[in-house]
Amino acid sequence: MEKHSETCDELYECLLRLKTKEDCRLLLSDLCTFNEIEQMAGRVKAARLLLEGHTYSQIISQTEISSATLSRVSRCVSHGSGGYAKFVKRGDGNAND
């Protein structure tokens, strides 16, 4: 795993204090631009669709992400740290907890 700075640790601690979707919305709207939030949301949707077994062409048609971004998301789903698999809820309502 990558080494993280104390600044990153402070961000992680801040995220751990979130309790509701509204808390998350409030913090992200202060931390990120609207476009950054939309891009992250697109990656989460793409990861969910990959986990559900959709093809690249199906995902690109359902999202506004580029094929390069989809490729990166796919690599993370397959070979990343496991965050997508653990935290992204699939259409069947399950995420690997």
Helix axes 67-79, 34-51, angle to 10 degrees: 60
pLDDT value, residue 16? 97
Task: Judge whether 39 and 56 are in contact, CB under 8 Å.
Answer: no
The pTM assigned to this predicted structure is 0.85
- Over residues 17-70, the pLDDT tens digits come to 999 999 999 999 999 999 999 999 999 999 999 999 999 999 999 998 999 999
- Those residues whose C-beta lies under 8 Å from the C-beta of residue 85, and which sit 6 or more positions away, are 51, 77, 95, 96
Structure token pair of residue 41: 């949301």
